[in-house]
Each structure stands twice: as structure tokens, then as C-alpha cells.
Structure 1
Amino acid sequence: MRAIQFLFSGMMAASVLLSGCAHHASAPPVPASISLTAPLHGDFGHYTLALTWQPGFCTGPEGNSCQADQPKTPLIGLHGLWASRPSDLIKAQVPVTTWWRKGCSLYEGDASSPVPRFSPTLSHRLSDVVAHTHSDLVAHEYAKHVHCFGMQEEQFFSVATQLRDRFAALPSAQHLTSEPGTVIAKADLTREIEADTGPLPDRGVQFQCNTPPQGQSVLAQIWFTLKPDALSRFPKADAFMSSPQVQDNCPASFLVPQWNR
């Protein structure tokens, strides 16, 4: 009887173990939850996630626009996560171009916004992925695009960096980082991104190019138009929406620049 009980117990234990392994193998990964809530002026229509191609972003009409300590990796960086015009500005007929130019100062006037404070971990991460422009780009982004919405800076920039990391992990982004120094077609890059995201709405992704002194258009930024309540689904297509404005200034083909050696 003892031998039979031992055998039965062993079979049950093996069954439970196999069942647990099978369940673990079939369980889909749970995506990290990413969301933001704006306590103030939160009735805007969309976010623009602005990512940078660092060698192009740091190259403007007058040459290098970044500091000497600009990291050479990663190539894909973070510019910002921009809320569109809140409804009270739309009702007041404030032009969208004025919102783009002035941002939170429309609410705060000449009052200076507090300097953002971050944990050491996030501060180091932002130093890695945000371009080292001659003025502090992170402080600028906070003052212009975050502070008047009442969002806490640590949470906001943590979400923005996670969205950047999600795109950078896609095969299309990995392929892009293997092509510095080559000329690519905008339509081909769009197709590669859509192979990862699914079909996107018109102007769901747009590109910004700079023109350095040599005169050739170079990739500087990639802009994604996202639903405010769907950030956790990025980079899947249902997180996107069509941008109300045409903001793509790149020609049909452009250079994916590399760092000057």
C-alpha cells in the first residue's frame, strides 16, 4: 500500500508540474501598463511622440547643434511627448501654430516653471536618450509641454522613455540603425514600420528632415500621433490616430546620416 501511495503521489506531482509548465508556456506576455493622466487641461485630442535620429537631429543649417559630450549611441533618441491644443484654446481660436510655438506659456505667461527633478536612474536614462543640445532640452520639454498639465515629471518622462524604448526594439527600428550613411525612400521606411505596427492611419507617422550646410535632406525625427488613452498599446496600430496637421517635411528619399568621425 505504501508503495502504491508513493507511486500515486509521484504521478500527481509530475502532473501538477507538467500542467504548470504547459500553462506557463501558453500564457501570453502581459504588456507593461503605460498611461498618463493630466490633472489640468486634460481634454486635448492627441499626443505626438517625437523621436530623434540623433546624428540628423544634431545637424542643422548651421552645422552641429549639440554639445561635444553628445553620446554617439543610441542612434534613436527622445525629443518629447507633446499634447495637442486643449479645448479651451481651440474655443478661444488660438492658432495651432501659436500652441506649437508657445506651449504652456500660454497659460503661465512669463512665470518660470520649476526645474524638473528626477531619480538618479531616470536622470541617467534621459542623459542617454535625449540630445545634449546647447540649452537643456529636458528642462525645455518640461516647461513647454508638461508643467501646465499638472503631470508629475518623473512619471511623465518615465512613460516617454518607455515609449521610445518600445519603438527602438522593433525590427524596423533595428534595421534603420543598421543603415547609417545610406539614402532610403520614405515609402520604404513607412512600410517597414507598418510591418511591425500594422496598417497606420494617414499621418499616423510623419518624418522631419534637417538640411545641413551640404544641402542634402537628412532624417532628423520620426513623429507618431497617438490616442491619449491608448499609450499602453503602442506600437500597435490601434494606439495611433491621424494627425490633424501635415507636419512631414521630408522629401521622397533622404539620407540616414551617421556621426562625423
Structure 2
Amino acid sequence: MPFFRWARIWVLSLSGLVLTGSIAAAAVPQDMQDFNHYTFAVMWHPGVCATWSNAGPACKDLSPAAKINQEWTMHGLWASRPRSLLAAGMNGPTWWHYGCYWYNPEHALPKGSCANPPLNLPEALHQRLYAHMPMAQICLDRHEYYKHVVCFGETPEQFFPKELDLLDKLNASAFTAFIRDHRGQWVARNAIMKAFADSFQVKNADALELRCENPSHHIHELERQGNILTQAWITIHKDKVDAFPAPESLEKGRKGNCAEKIHILN
């Protein structure tokens, strides 16, 4: 496909450590900017630490008093498929698997997130990001940038403040207060969805996808079904990111995988 062959010319190999995030916006094909929405993905840190076997040093502070355990932490901000890739026949699972890695020679994936080059962020941005993305300690920041951002032409200095501003707005909401106030409890999925709809003044919570996972060890028999809250994915229209969380910024997304009762870990 001509577009794919051409695209490889300007997105270079990770093995050469040249993907620094400094690709000039002018070098990005215009149609890469033509996509519909973002998926804004945030984590509930205690749930992630209970279910992810590879979290390691990112989970060294699980005190209920720690700020990262009282609010959402950052996962990512993922662009949907550009229309050029839709027209070329790329399906959804392929895009979610590769993202910007598609443009590496032979579509090569890195051997782990830490195989990506360091981002070398300005100190103030580094401090802010690591305060709100504990999984950056296992290189989630690198993975998110090189998989979901670099081929769209934004530098880390352009992208991460936008993402963190969204997180600040979400964590200031009544929805996050509801989650925080129900830590340590089993909560009806519908009650969480209603809290989202009420907080953001929408008729329903179809922009919200709740993600639950199995624990690394069983705390309760019901958790064998995978009912520990780990993430929330919110669909935001690409051109209305600045308006988030206004109702007009939200779009219908996918259904989540959580059961009727969800354990919000403390």
C-alpha cells in the first residue's frame, strides 16, 4: 500500500534510538490528523497493583493516604484510527496492537516498554508526569508516547501537558469523589455509571468504559470473576478535548467488562 510504504520513510527504527519525539509536524502526513476521537484511559492504582503481576516498583506505596491511591492516575490518551488507515483496510484490533509502531520497519514492536528511548522531559514536566503516572517507573510514559503519539507529530512537551490537564479536570470532578468515597467497598456498576452521568451532566454514561481484572491473589470469592476496578476509559471527541468534561466533548464508546458488582480497592 503506497501510504504505508511512504510512511516508513519518515518514521525510523527504534533500534537506532532516533525516535526522540522531535519529528517535525510538517513531516507528518496531513491525513494522520484526520481521526474521530481519543480514548482517555486512567487507572485506579490500588486495583492495578492488585492485578498486574509486572507492576513492581510502581506499587511501592499502597498507603490509602497516598494521593495516587485516592484519585485516578494516568494511563494514556489514544487516538482512534486515522481515516487514511481506515480507507486502507486496517481493522480496529490491528491499530490497537500496533499504533505508531506500525510504521517501524517490518512493523517491529519493542522488546518491552523500557526498550523505547528515554523521553528526556523538562524537569518540571517530568516531575508532574511521574507524580500522576506511577507506572512511568516501569516505562509506561515511553510506551504511551512511542505507540500512541509520535506518528501524529506531537512532541512529548506538547502532548503530556494536554493529557495531564484532562486528568486534573477528571480528578476534580464529583465522579472521582464518588470513587474515592467508596474505596474498600463493593459498588454496583450501575451506581458508578450513574455517578459519571450525574457528575458530567449527561443523560447516560455511554462515554465511559469501566475495566476490571482478576487479582494476582483472591481476596474474595467474587473476585474470581474479575471484578476489581482497574481502569476507566472515556471517549472524547478529537476536536473538543479542550472542552472536557463538558457534555458536548463526550462521545459514545465501548461497553466495559466489569460485572454487576465492582470492588474499588483502598
Task: Give the TM-score normalised by structure 1.
Answer: 0.77
C-alpha separation in 2, matches of 1:136 and 1:42: 26
C-alpha separation in 2, matches of 1:123 and 1:185: 37
Secondary structure (helix, strand or coil) at the match of 1:151 reads: coil
Partner deviation per Cα, 1:36-86 (whole Å, 9 max, x = no partner): x99541111110000110111222264x62415457422310100000111
- Asked whether 1:126 is paired with 2:129, we answer yes
Structure-2 residue corresponding to 1:187: 190
Partner deviation per Cα, 1:70-107 (whole Å, 9 max, x = no partner): 57422310100000111121112112111111110112
Structure 1 residue ranges, 4+ long, deviating more than 4 angstroms after superposition: 37-40, 111-114
Greater share of residues in helix: 2
Structure-1 residue corresponding to 2:211: 208
C-alpha separation in 1, matches of 2:163 and 2:203: 20
C-alpha separation in 2, matches of 1:73 and 1:166: 15
Q: Does the 8 Å contact 1:42/1:86 carry over to 2?
A: yes
Number of aligned residue pairs = 219
Q: Report deviation, 1:135.
A: 3.1
Q: Does the 8 Å contact 1:108/1:148 carry over to 2?
A: no
Secondary structure (helix, strand or coil) at the match of 2:182 reads: coil
- Asked whether 1:54 is paired with 2:45, we answer yes
Q: Does the 8 Å contact 1:74/1:129 carry over to 2?
A: yes
Q: Does the 8 Å contact 1:46/1:226 carry over to 2?
A: yes
Structure-2 residue corresponding to 1:242: 252
> What amino acid does structure 2 have at the position aligned with 1:182?
Q
- Asked whether 1:43 is paired with 2:34, we answer yes
Structure-1 residue corresponding to 2:80: 84
Q: Report deviation, 1:174.
A: 1.5
Gaps of 5+ in 1: 1-36
Change (3 A) 1:133 1:230: closer
Secondary structure (helix, strand or coil) at the match of 1:132 reads: helix
> What amino acid does structure 2 have at the position aligned with 1:118?
L
The match for 1:140 among 143, 150, 165 is: 143
Which of 115-124 and 48-57 deviates more? Answer: 115-124
Structure-2 residue corresponding to 1:165: 168
Q: Report deviation, 1:131.
A: 2.8
C-alpha separation in 1, matches of 2:109 and 2:173: 41
> What amino acid does structure 1 have at the position aligned with 2:119?
P
Q: Does the 8 Å contact 1:58/1:131 carry over to 2?
A: no
Secondary structure (helix, strand or coil) at the match of 1:254 reads: strand
- Asked whether 1:255 is paired with 2:260, we answer no
Partner deviation per Cα, 1:162-204 (whole Å, 9 max, x = no partner): 1011010012211211221101111111111111211156631
- Asked whether 1:178 is paired with 2:181, we answer yes
Gaps of 5+ in 2: 1-24, 111-115, 219-223
Change (3 A) 1:164 1:248: same
Change (3 A) 1:190 1:153: same
The match for 1:94 among 83, 90, 94 is: 90
Change (3 A) 1:176 1:239: same
> What amino acid does structure 2 have at the position aligned with 1:198?
Q
Change (3 A) 1:139 1:247: farther
> What amino acid does structure 2 have at the position aligned with 1:223?
W
Which of 230-239 and 65-74 deviates more? Answer: 65-74
C-alpha separation in 2, matches of 1:70 and 1:119: 25
Secondary structure (helix, strand or coil) at the match of 1:74 reads: helix
Partner deviation per Cα, 1:129-148 (whole Å, 9 max, x = no partner): 11336730000100100111
Secondary structure (helix, strand or coil) at the match of 1:187 reads: helix
C-alpha separation in 2, matches of 1:201 and 1:116: 38
Structure-2 residue corresponding to 1:229: 239
C-alpha separation in 2, matches of 1:190 and 1:218: 16
Structure-1 residue corresponding to 2:230: 220
C-alpha separation in 1, matches of 2:99 and 2:109: 13
Secondary structure (helix, strand or coil) at the match of 1:104 reads: helix
Q: CA RMSD in A?
A: 2.3
Change (3 A) 1:166 1:54: same
C-alpha separation in 2, matches of 1:192 and 1:154: 33
C-alpha separation in 2, matches of 1:194 and 1:111: 38
